[in-house]
Amino acid sequence: MSTALDRKPDYSTFPRLSLEEARAAAADLLAMKGAGAPVEGQMLGRIERFYRQEARILDEERYEDWYDLLADDLFYWMPLRENRFRRDSRSELDPDSMAFFDESKADIAVRIGRLKSNLVWTEDPPTRHVYIVSNVEAFETGVDGEFETHHVFTQYRNRSEHDEATLFGRRRDLIRAVDDGFQIVRRLILLPQSVLSTKNLSVFF
Amino acid sequence: MKAADLVDSSFGTIDRRIFWDPAIYELELERVFARSWLFVAHESQIEEPGAFVTTYMAQDSVIVARADDGAINVFLNSCPHRGNRVCFADSGKGRAFTCNYHGWAFGLDGALKKMPKMGLYKSTPGFRMEDWGLRRARVASYKGLVFATFCEEAPSLEQWLGDFRWYLDAVLDVEDGGTEFLPGGATRSVMRCNWKFPADNFVGDIYHALWTHLGGAEPTLGRHGGVIVENDGSYQVSVNGHGWEFNDSFFGNAATMGDRELLRYMRSRQEAITARLGDFRAKMWGSVASATIFPNFSFLPGYFTFRTFQPKGPTTTEIHAWTLVPRNMPDDIKDRFRRGSMRTFSPSGILEMDDGENWEHSTSANAGWVTRNQKLCYAMAPAGEVERDDLPGEVTAGQLSDANQRLFYKRWAEMMDAESWADIPTTGSDAQFSEAAE
């Protein structure tokens, strides 16, 4: 359990990328196309187990445990999607554009601070979650202990009587092996929706 | 049934059926939306000739395009041949909009230019190309914000906005060079609520923030922090149904983004903005405030999120949101506003996330047959004196009040009941607003 998330900590002291570091991380994520040697066998099994465990931690709303799965140099990005003609030469995923998430670890801490405040009426009674992670691929990156992964997810939420949301998406991660598992260093979350079909993203991906 | 019977704007009661009744919604499309000036784009979204965005005016899909002569045209995004949409991109650049169905092609002004086998039409008696363009709207801008209406009888945009323009300058004209929307299109999300709940929330409901947003405000406002919301030094102003509630804190809203660098920058601008706009309006720039331009275009000073509440049926609304910044602001600060507005007022924002819940359940709970027969309370009107007599519009002392919301619904009822624009009262002239004494 992280002690860093005590009530009302000073978030300005939490890990945060500079703008340049965030832009470099975004460029790295955009360049990840599965070009490295595929990771097979036991290591792929460990990576898949890590994602099953992460999904269960999020299902159970164990946000402080999830926070500990994030590296201090985290870059966490969910860009907006726009409908554009194929002939349009602009890059659709542009780090200068508005996003749903564009976060350092400190920003995630603020979000967890909100959820922990016991003052969030939207989450009380709580939401019930089911995450499904699938199609996991992993690739060597050239850095020892760091892996590029690609996978898809389904995230179902239900609360109250009829409130529900089903979001499908694809994730692209850079993960780093640590003593007892992995940490997420970079994460790109791509939702296919250009108009978000739900009223909020009071969840993590 | 008259809308005036559903709204008591003097004491402040409202019939719940206006938030879900399909017949009322249909009448709103005709009497309110089709007769109003509606926000369609910021000029910065379509700078070059050929640049376009698509958006909605109520449920009508429209294209907003920059012509070769620099003019901005707004026209229906529906082919007059069989009705199909002619443009499926949210934004882009081109010379023509060609319908996928039969290939009718339209210019940047919406005019019909050509179609496959044109000879078939040339030999059709009575067919004239000029009769079959995409229907064009009237278009006008105020300091970068582009509005349109298909109503020929509506007054000018200047009259429509009236003296509200004087207040708008507190976010649209804080420095030379004007403003822009940050790039990347609109943040769009669906809420199962009536469009009027978010519109009335922004027009004058700071009261909800003290309770709804407790959880979201806690982590960013520091150990002993808190945004002060009091009726001393704060106001509500209303003009033609448009409304703005605000205090004099200069960056009270911005403070909840939790970015000290950003506040340092804003403080560094205060003297220059004061010299430009006077002390009173300068203090509105990023203060604890919210505003709606009637009927469904709203913004928040400080976060500078601008958004339309697009009606998609009596109980469904789409929020389309952008972030507005002064064009000459340093890039690093623009990026801080991009991230700050995203983290507070977007579907993932720690403040906006709690709003949708309220509006959705207010909409659905109001429909119960017994429930609908108890009126809603919009009566808050604490006593207070406006100490200044030089402020334009209908001014109420204290931002904690339902005054603007009552005037929003008064305007709504006037438009709903009016047979024509001649029956809709509008204050203010189309003359450039003279600077109020500071």
B187 and A98 within 8 Å at the Cβ level: the answer is yes
* Alpha carbons A96 and B306: distance in angstroms, whole number: 18
What are the pLDDT digits (tens) for A100-115? 999 999 999 999 999 9
pLDDT of residue B233: 93
Would you say residue B370 has pLDDT above 50?
yes
B184 and A120 within 8 Å at the Cβ level: the answer is no
Spatial contact of A110 and B219, defined as CB atoms under 8 Å apart: yes
Minimal Cα distance from A120: which residue of B? Answer: B215
Would you say residue A6 has pLDDT above 90?
no
pLDDT band at B10 (very low <50, low <70, confident <90, very high): very high
Say whether residue B47 is in contact with chain A using an 8 A CB cutoff: no
Average pLDDT over residues B305-333: 98
pLDDT of residue A167: 98
* Alpha carbons B65 and B131: distance in angstroms, whole number: 20
Token output for A173: 């991660």
* Alpha carbons B68 and B48: distance in angstroms, whole number: 8
Helical ranges in A17-120 per DSSP H: 19-31, 41-59, 63-67, 105-116
Partner A, chain B 257-316, Cβ-Cβ below 8 Å: 258, 260
pLDDT of residue B388: 87
Token output for B68: 């070769």
pLDDT of residue B225: 53
pLDDT band at B438 (very low <50, low <70, confident <90, very high): very low
Spatial contact of B185 and A80, defined as CB atoms under 8 Å apart: yes
Cβ-Cβ contacts under 8 Å for B238 (sequence gap 6 or more): B203, B204, B393, B394, B396, B403, B404, B407, B408
If one counts every other C-beta atom within 10 angstroms of the C-beta of residue A1, the result is 9
pLDDT of residue A184: 98
pLDDT of residue B123: 97
Cβ-Cβ contacts under 8 Å for A147 (sequence gap 6 or more): A39, A43, A47, A138, A139, A140, A141, A174, A175, A177, A182
ipTM given for this complex: 0.95
Distance from CA of residue B234 to its chain's centroid? Answer: 22
What are the pLDDT digits (tens) for B104-131? 999 999 999 999 999 999 999 999 999 9
Selecting from A82, A114, A202 the residue whose C-beta is nearest the C-beta of B91 gives A82
B350 and A114 within 8 Å at the Cβ level: the answer is yes
What are the pLDDT digits (tens) for B191-250? 999 999 999 999 999 999 999 998 888 887 754 456 679 999 999 999 999 999 999 999
pLDDT band at A75 (very low <50, low <70, confident <90, very high): very high
Would you say residue A10 has pLDDT above 50?
yes
The C-alpha of B242 sits at a distance from chain A's nearest C-alpha, in angstroms, of 25
What are the pLDDT digits (tens) for B408-437? 999 999 999 999 999 998 886 554 554 443
Spatial contact of B49 and B68, defined as CB atoms under 8 Å apart: yes
> From residue B66, how far is each of A87, A134, B92, B159 by CA, in Å?
19, 45, 11, 25
* Alpha carbons B40 and B142: distance in angstroms, whole number: 12
Number of H helices, E strands in chain B: 12, 22
For B222, half-sphere exposure in the C-beta direction (CA atoms, 13 angstrom radius) is 11
* DSSP E strand stretches across B342-391: 376-377
What are the pLDDT digits (tens) for B64-101? 999 999 999 999 999 999 999 999 999 999 999 999 99
Token output for A161: 């009587």
Cβ-Cβ contacts under 8 Å for B36 (sequence gap 6 or more): B149, B151, B154, B160, B294, B295, B415
* Beta-ladder partners of B320: B188, B308
Spatial contact of A204 and A175, defined as CB atoms under 8 Å apart: no
Token output for B83: 């009705």
Say whether residue B350 is in contact with chain A using an 8 A CB cutoff: yes
Average pLDDT over residues B280-284: 98
Mutating which of A102, A199, A204 best tests the B interface, going by the most B Cβ atoms within 10 A? A199
| DSSP of B210-230 | HHHTHHHHHHHS-TT------
Arithmetic mean of pLDDT over chain B: 95
A117 and B219 within 8 Å at the Cβ level: the answer is yes
Average pLDDT over residues A142-170: 97
Does B301 sit behind a cis peptide bond, omega within 30 degrees of 0 on the bond before it?
no
A-B C-beta contacts closer than 8 Å: 141
* Alpha carbons A55 and A65: distance in angstroms, whole number: 12
* Alpha carbons B24 and B32: distance in angstroms, whole number: 11
pLDDT of residue B226: 64
pLDDT of residue B429: 56
Token output for B302: 């400080």
Would you say residue B358 has pLDDT above 60?
yes
Spatial contact of B313 and A164, defined as CB atoms under 8 Å apart: no
A155-174: string of b/e by CB count within 10 Å (b at 16+)? bebebeeebebebebebbbb
Average pLDDT over residues A161-174: 96
Arithmetic mean of pLDDT over chain A: 94
* Alpha carbons A108 and A113: distance in angstroms, whole number: 9
Average pLDDT over residues B371-383: 96
Residues of chain A found within 8 Å of residue B190, distances taken between Cβ atoms: 195-199
pLDDT band at B297 (very low <50, low <70, confident <90, very high): very high
Would you say residue A2 has pLDDT above 50?
no
Minimal Cα distance from A85: which residue of B? Answer: B89
pLDDT of residue A3: 46
Q: Which residue carries 């331009």 as its tokens?
A: B293
Average pLDDT over residues A176-202: 96
